[in-house]
């Protein structure tokens, strides 16, 4: 009898265990569904707060946006997008220190993230932390980027870094970044012109001209490139190139008074310079004497206008020196040699500088002589 009861009891226990297991599975599935539902609800609430924060930021209400983004993060703590939005709102509200700390925490787990490094760079730049700003800009440039048009975004960020360096008088570092920039896409006339302008700000005229010329090769009717090439050549005292590009610029845009003025000056320099190539000795002497006499005439006119004793003494001394040198330059049968040409140009430069300082801006013809003197000061023909 006892033997018959044992299987029956065991069967009951098995059924009970199966029932309990099924119940446990049911509870688990129910709990899982409820947790998933709660998670979805939290995600929806977070998204609502995030959208509200975005609207507030667009409206310029940074403080309210900060509260909204904090609520979004409270409902979705692992969402990096919400944390970045909060950092942006904090920065917009001038809470730079808090924004920086938030971004540094995010960066600990992802140091190569370009978005995080860009934000840290901009905060550091606003706070005047030059070394930190450059460090984060560099990390962003060579970090991990996502999304579309990465090349253009990286290019614009490099330009932002270059402008930052120029603003903080870091010309050498700016030039280093510019040398990288000019090799990056896109290779278009507009990008070349932009690069040329940045080289100009950095004081590198040669590379500025190189990029203006590259822009012209890509678009021969780009007025900005033509004018930039002409003006940069003028600054480099290459008046033949300046004349060439300024003429091309006026052909495309004939109404620019400044371009026309520079072209007139460049052509005057070329026409009066005694040291341009392929002149005969007589032609060189004729140009030198005409320029020298013009400078002396300007000096004499200036003397008649000044009443300052010190200025008068300086101008009188230069006049005496010029009068002493004049006959030597004018010898018909003995054109001046290279040393005398150099001396004549040097004295001409002194006269033009002195009269410009004492009697104001000279007329165009004297401006040309001043440029000739500056170009060849101390140079041998």
The number of distinct structural domains making up the chain is 2
Final residue before a domain boundary, out of 166, 189, 218:
218
Q: Which backbone phi and psi does 144 adopt, to 5 degrees?
A: -100, 120
Question: How far is CA 28 from each of CA 33, 48, 60, rounded to the nearest angstrom?
Answer: 8, 30, 47
Question: How far is CA 86 from each of CA 63, 119, 218, rounded to the nearest angstrom?
Answer: 10, 12, 44
CATH assignment of the domain containing 357? 1.20.1270
* pLDDT value, residue 77: 83
**Do both 99 and 203 map to the same domain?**
yes
**Do both 197 and 307 map to the same domain?**
no
**Do both 303 and 201 map to the same domain?**
no
* pLDDT value, residue 380: 46
Structure confidence by residue, pLDDT tens digits, 248-289:
999 999 999 999 999 999 999 999 999 998 999 899 999 999
Helix (H) or strand (E) holding 269: helix 257-272
Q: Is 292 inside a domain boundary? A: yes
Final residue before a domain boundary, out of 173, 199, 218:
218
Question: How far is CA 301 from each of CA 315, 352, 361, 366, 372, rounded to the nearest angstrom?
Answer: 11, 12, 13, 13, 21
CATH assignment of the domain containing 211? 1.25.40.10
* pLDDT value, residue 32: 59
Beta bridge partners of 144: 113
Structure confidence by residue, pLDDT tens digits, 136-163:
999 999 999 988 889 999 999 999 999 9
Structure confidence by residue, pLDDT tens digits, 52-106:
999 999 999 999 999 999 999 988 888 899 899 999 999 999 999 999 999 999 9
**Do both 57 and 169 map to the same domain?**
yes
Question: How far is CA 10 from each of CA 6, 16, 20, rounded to the nearest angstrom?
Answer: 6, 10, 15
pTM, rounded to two decimals: 0.82
Q: How many residues does the chain have?
A: 381
Q: Is 328 inside a domain boundary? A: yes
Q: Is 233 inside a domain boundary? A: no
**Do both 214 and 288 map to the same domain?**
no
**Do both 205 and 329 map to the same domain?**
no
* pLDDT value, residue 46: 86
What's the gap between Cα 342 and its chain centre? Answer: 40
Q: Is 300 inside a domain boundary? A: yes
Share of the chain above pLDDT 90, in %: 74
Give 46's contacts (C-beta < 8 A, 6+ positions apart). Answer: 71, 72, 73, 74, 75, 76, 79, 82
Beta bridge partners of 113: 144
Q: Is 355 inside a domain boundary? A: yes
**Do both 196 and 294 map to the same domain?**
no
User: Residue 5 — pLDDT band, cuts 50, 70, 90?
Assistant: low
Nearest Cα neighbor of 266 from 288, 237, 286, 229 is 237
Domain hosting 369: range is 281-376
Question: How far is CA 171 from each of CA 68, 135, 161, 202, 366, rounded to the nearest angstrom?
Answer: 42, 17, 12, 5, 34
Final residue before a domain boundary, out of 218, 238, 255:
218
């Amino acid at each position: 009898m006892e033997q018959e009861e044992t299987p029956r009891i065991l069967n009951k226990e098995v059924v009970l265990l199966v029932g309990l297991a099924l119940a446990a599975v049911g509870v688990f599935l129910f709990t899982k569904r409820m947790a998933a539902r709660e998670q979805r609800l939290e995600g929806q609430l977070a998204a609502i707060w995030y959208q509200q924060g975005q609207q507030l930021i667009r409206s310029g209400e940074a403080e309210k946006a900060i509260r909204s983004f904090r609520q979004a993060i409270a409902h979705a703590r692992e969402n990096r997008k919400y944390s970045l939005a909060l950092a942006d709102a904090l920065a917009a509200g001038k809470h730079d220190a808090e924004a920086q700390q938030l971004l540094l925490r995010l960066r600990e787990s992802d140091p190569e993230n370009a978005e995080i490094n860009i934000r840290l760079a901009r905060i550091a730049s606003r706070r005047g932390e030059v070394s930190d700003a450059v460090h984060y800009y560099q990390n962003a440039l060579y970090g991990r980027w996502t999304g579309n048009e990465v090349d253009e975004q990286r290019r614009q960020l490099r330009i932002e870094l270059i402008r930052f360096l120029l603003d903080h008088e870091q010309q050498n570092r700016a030039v280093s970044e510019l040398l990288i920039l000019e090799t990056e896409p896109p290779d278009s006339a507009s990008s070349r012109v932009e690069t040329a302008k940045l080289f100009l700000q950095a004081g590198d005229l040669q590379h500025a001209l190189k990029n203006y010329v590259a822009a012209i090769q890509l678009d021969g009717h780009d007025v900005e490139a033509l004018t930039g090439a002409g003006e940069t050549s003028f600054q480099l005292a290459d008046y033949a190139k300046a004349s060439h590009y300024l003429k091309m610029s006026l052909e495309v845009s004939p109404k620019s008074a400044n371009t026309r003025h520079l072209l007139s000056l460049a052509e005057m320099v070329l026409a009066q310079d005694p040291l341009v190539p392929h002149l005969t000795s007589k032609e060189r002497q004729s140009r030198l004497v005409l320029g020298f006499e013009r400078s002396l005439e300007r000096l004499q006119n200036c003397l008649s206008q000044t009443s300052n004793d010190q200025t008068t003494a300086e101008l009188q001394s230069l006049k005496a020196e010029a009068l002493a040198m004049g006959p030597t330059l004018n010898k018909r049968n003995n054109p001046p040699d290279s040393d005398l040409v150099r001396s004549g140009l040097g004295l001409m430069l002194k006269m033009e500088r002195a009269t410009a300082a004492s009697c104001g801006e000279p007329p165009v013809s004297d401006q040309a002589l001043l440029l000739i003197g500056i170009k060849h000061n101390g140079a041998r023909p």
